[in-house]
A = this chain, B = another copy of it.
Amino acid sequence: MTRTRDPEQTRRRLLEAASDEIHRSGFQSASLDKILKKAGVTKGALYHHFPSKAALGLAVVNEVVAGKIRSDWVLPLGCCDDPITAIRTTLAEALQTSGSDYVALGCALNNLAQEMSPINEEFRDCCGEVFGEWKGGFADVLRNGQVRGLVRSDIDPESAATFLVAAVEGTVGMMKNAQSLEPGRQSMEMLDAFLESLRPQTPKHSLPVVGLPGAPAGCEDC
């Protein structure tokens, strides 16, 4: 057991170890002993920082899982000025960056939301807030695109954002069941077509259904 005089570092190690163990085993089956062993801290230190296993799990959602969703799926939306290309690029890169994790263990946020939503209101709300931030990221980009005439005015940005998050989470679930990246490739082909269909209808963007390109066309910033 390593004792440290840096409480913040101890807390961070506990959160990282708990995040890893919960991602592998689910919250209910996660072993506190394994978490303590991996973090190299005492049970006393754990309860100093987190009064209960639930408090530790909620902190994992708020601080670790939310951060991963933000860095993979929300912040990269600012990658370029064209909203459709920004979303396509973000989806493709997140699935590429985290694809092997998703195949192995699924999405940490969705795993917890599916396991805990029916049995624990705090977890449900906590996961719901992270989904809300993710959906908000997509909706903001689409709404902003509508103002600038780059996204069809007859679609509801909130509905499209919910659909995008649902499609991503469902796709990650298919990848986890198939233990393969292939469902991700198939879904991305369709998501690209769906996203292109959100452009205002001009001859330039006449709804191509295309294979997965190396990089979305038309973006000079990415």
Contact = CB atoms under 8 A, between A and B. Distances in A.
B173 A158 contact: no
Contact of A152 (B104, B185, B209): B209
Interface string A170-214: 110110111100010111011101100100010000010100000
A36 interface: no
20 contacts: A26-B115, A28-B29, A104-B118, A110-B114, A114-B173, A117-B176, A117-B179, A124-B179, A128-B177, A131-B174, A131-B177, A152-B209, A158-B186, A162-B174, A165-B170, A165-B174, A166-B167, A166-B171, A190-B194, A197-B207
Given A28-B29, A167-B167, 13 more contacts: A106-B114, A106-B118, A113-B177, A115-B115, A117-B177, A131-B174, A131-B177, A162-B174, A163-B191, A166-B174, A170-B171, A197-B207, A201-B207
Interface of A: 24, 26, 28-29, 104-106, 110-111, 113-115, 117-118, 124, 127-128, 131, 152, 154-156, 158-160, 162-163, 165-171, 173-174, 176-179, 183, 185-187, 189-191, 193-194, 197, 201, 207, 209
